[in-house]
Structure 1
Amino acid sequence: MTTGHRATIASKIEVRRIFTIGLPYIDQHAGEIFFGPKDGYLYLTTGHGGNNTHGDPWNFSQKKKSLLGKVLRLDINHFPTPAEIVSLGLWGNYTIPSDNPYTNDTELKPEIWALGFRNPWRCSFDSERPSYLFCGDTGQDRANASSTFEKVNLVTKDGNYGWRVYDGFDLFSPNYAPGGSTPPDSINPIFPILGYHHGETQNPSFSALVAGYVYRAKADPCLSGRFIYADILAADMWAAAETPYMSGNFTTQKVNFTCSKTTPIPCSFVGSTSIPQLSFLLSIGQDNNKDLFYITRTGVYRIVRSVHCGYKCNKS
């Protein structure tokens, strides 16, 4: 049942399976489901499904006939015909947008929008520039934990983001590769626009990037237009500005943060610092007013005006 455009009761008879995929290992099963704000299609991200020790041993992320390690783009508003299911080898109840990259590259599975990801598990479109799709991607564990690199990619149609040829900006050499390897000179990788090494965080022995949104709310003018992201242990947060605008080049800086004096959730702090003890940062959310929320194990927190946290913002 619906009232206006708001669903009040879910109808189980309307539930249908859209997509099914097999996974080879227990690690890197990232996945996010979201709709394109301009095209209305369903975007689905998939991890490479490899394991932490060997790092995509079957090289699924680079293989154009695999749906692992990809950003997929599906039309779920139209049902496929039996002929389409067979000819395109579909994995569920959807059709393929006519402008997906496979129309230019027949080697690609038709669902693929972009490839070469390790574990893309938080993505978002900029609400004011829907051509900008940001995706966070976790790094491969390295012998020196502090050197492991977390990254944010600006995803474009038919883009190849390098994994497992590259991990971030560095060439990656797997210690076990039964699925073969992709020569570096055979691809044109798109490198991350943002990122950090574990050694740059408060907890270098365990880190993972949680990508957020371009801030478009009104609560904090000093964050306006900046891409917000953070580390999973919620002790480090960043804001990145595109300079110059529409260039694709970003500069970033760490953001000071603490609890508002009027917070409805009592705050405890990390040692003698002003950093809130939030435990794990599980996700970053956005509401209809474009306000951003940090979803943590201790509660849900909203970005508010700087003055409430004892900071100054010189923009009105």
Structure 2
Amino acid sequence: MDLKALTLSAVVLSAVVLSTLPLHAEVAGKPIAKGFERPVWAGVPQGVEGKLWVMEQAGRVWIVDIASGKWSDKPFLDVRELVSRKGNEEGLLGLAFPKDFQTTGRYYVNYTDKEKQTKIVRYTSADKQTTDPATAEEILVYPSEFENHNGGWIDFGPDGYLYIGNGDGGSGNDPKQRAQDLGSLLGKMLRIDVSPEKGYKVPADNPFVGNAKAKPEIWAYGLRNPWRNSFDRETGDFWIADVGQNQWEEVNFVPKGKGSGADFGWRLREGLVATPTGGVGGEAPKAYEPIYVYKHGMGEKEGLSITGGYVYRGSAVPELKGRYVFADYQNPRIWSFVEKDGKATDFKDHTKALQPEGGRINLISSFAEDNKGEIFLLDHSGVVYQIVEKK
């Protein structure tokens, strides 16, 4: 037996096999459920697998079986009678499950009511399948002023506190200068402790506690309309996608433990550019620099309204591992990049690859993440997709 010859043959065969394999697998968009009325959020409580809670902007939340696409017989929550849909950006906009939801049944929602107020409300679900509206407890209420820029995102951070992303109150160019006004909750990222049996507490280490001219709930400010934010489930880093005015969309990356008291710049600037001198104008000397900005337009790296996403920490799509996945709502493109030393690197466009067979993802209103780190995306026209590896 010629071992040398056999070894050489094996090496050649291995080289041939490897040369025929793709360098990486492609991603794909797999529809899992459809027929929703303007879906704007989806998520799942800790400890649950195979299900997805899907929110409709008009005021309902459904539980969906991912494998079959079947909806729950009854909505998990129905607050349509309380929610305003007069404005295009109004409605039921966010939901957050605390870690102990499976024990307490308590959870939180963010919606705009019929008096143009934003309400953060605590509900309790006794059976974890439906919710009695009578369990509602209003935690925080404040005016939205106009019908747009309501933010709407809420979630629990790694520190256990509830974070609330607020828009600047609406209209255009922040006419009442709310984003830079520490006496207003608008245009801010709030941080509160909802662990008490009733109401909430302000965390003692919030940056403006003790400042008589500032709202103590404020954690950071200078935001225009943060539309979909996320905490990296592996690192605890914070990602904030802020919708721009007329020129620029931006992504802000906040490493874990940083960002308290940060000014993200609006309305002193939009993206990295100072706003026109006819407005507030000037530089924001201490503004937190975005990790990525893109210009308005309909090109491959342009858009008109950002939809923030997640850093992929799942295992089903190795191609996306460690990549921040996000999109644009009006120019329906889906992108990703890798954060390295605070910079956006290795930018990729996944728009074409993610289009389903015989269909098209039109208006990406939100992303979602399950407990395994797999990512879903919501089309405002009514379909929920999962990002999978192309077979």
Query: How would you bin the TM-score normalised by the shorter chain?
Result: 0.7 to 0.9
- In 2: Cα distance, 1:119 partner to 1:174 partner: 21
Q: TM-score, normalised by structure 1?
A: 0.75
Match of residue 117 from structure 1: 223
Counterparts of 1:281 and 1:260, CA distance in 2: 12
Amino acid at match of 2:178: F
Runs of at least 5 residues in structure 1 that lack an aligned partner in the other structure: 81-92, 142-147, 269-276, 309-316
Match runs of 1:13-24 below 5 Å: 13-24=134-145
After superposition, the Cα gap between the structure-2 partners of 1:3 and 1:97, relative to the gap in structure 1 and judged at 3 Å, is: closer
In the alignment, does 2:339 pair up with 1:248?
no
Q: Which runs of 4+ in 1 moved over 4 A?
A: 2-6, 257-261
Provide the secondary structure at the position in 1 that maps to 2:230: strand
Report the CA distance between 1:97 and its aligned residue. 0.9
For the residue of structure 1 that corresponds to 2:226, the secondary structure is coil
Task: Report whether the alignment pairs 1:304 with 2:367.
Answer: no
TM-aligned CA distance change 1:259 to 1:13, over 3 Å: same
| Residue 312 (structure 2) pairs with residue 215 (structure 1) | yes
1:281 maps to 2:364: yes
Q: Are 1:173 and 2:265 counterparts? A: no
Work out whether 1:140 is the aligned partner of 2:258: no
How many Å separate the matches in 2 of 1:260 and 1:152?
Answer: 22
Q: Does 2:161 align with 1:161?
A: no
> Which residue pairs with 2:164 in the alignment?
44
Instruction: Tell me what 2:63 maps to.
Output: none
* 1:69-110 superposed Cα distances (whole Å, 9 cap, x missing partner): 000011122267xxxxxxxxxxxx321011111137554310
Q: Secondary structure at the match of 1:44?
A: strand
* Contact 2:294 2:301 survives alignment (8 Å): no
Deviations 1:41-68 (A, max 9, x none): 111111001313xx01221100111111
Q: How does 1:195-234 map to 2 (within 5 A)?
A: 195-199=293-297, 201=299, 207-233=304-330
Segment drifting more, 187-196 vs 252-261: 252-261
Shift of 1:14: 2.8
Q: Secondary structure at the match of 2:361?
A: coil
Letter in 2 for 1:153: N
Provide the TM-score with structure 2 as the length reference: 0.62
- State the alpha-carbon separation in 2 of the partners of residues 150 and 135 from structure 1: 11
Q: Deviations over 1:105-140 (max 9, x none)?
A: 55431000000001112100000111x110111111
Q: How far is the alpha carbon of 1:252 from its aligned partner?
A: 4.5
Query: For residue 242 of structure 2, what is the amino acid of its counterpart?
Result: D
Cα RMSD, aligned residues only: 2.6
CA distance in 1, matches of 2:289, 2:212: 24
Instruction: Say which of 358, 374, 382 aligns to 1:267.
Output: 358
Structure ID, larger Rg: 2
Q: Which residue in the other structure is 1:190 paired with?
A: 288
Structure with greater contact order relative to length (CA < 8 Å, sep ≥ 6): 2
Cα displacement (A) at 1:27: 2.5
Task: Choose between structure 1 and 2: higher strand proportion.
Answer: 2
Cα contact 2:297–2:304 (8 A) shared by 1 = no
Which ranges of structure 2 fall in alignment gaps of 5 or more residues?
Answer: 1-100, 106-127
Aligned residues: 264
Q: Output the amino acid matched with 2:364.
A: L
Amino acid at match of 1:289: K
> Do the aligned partners of residues 140 and 17 (structure 1) sit closer, same or farther apart at CA in structure 2, a change above 3 Å counting?
same
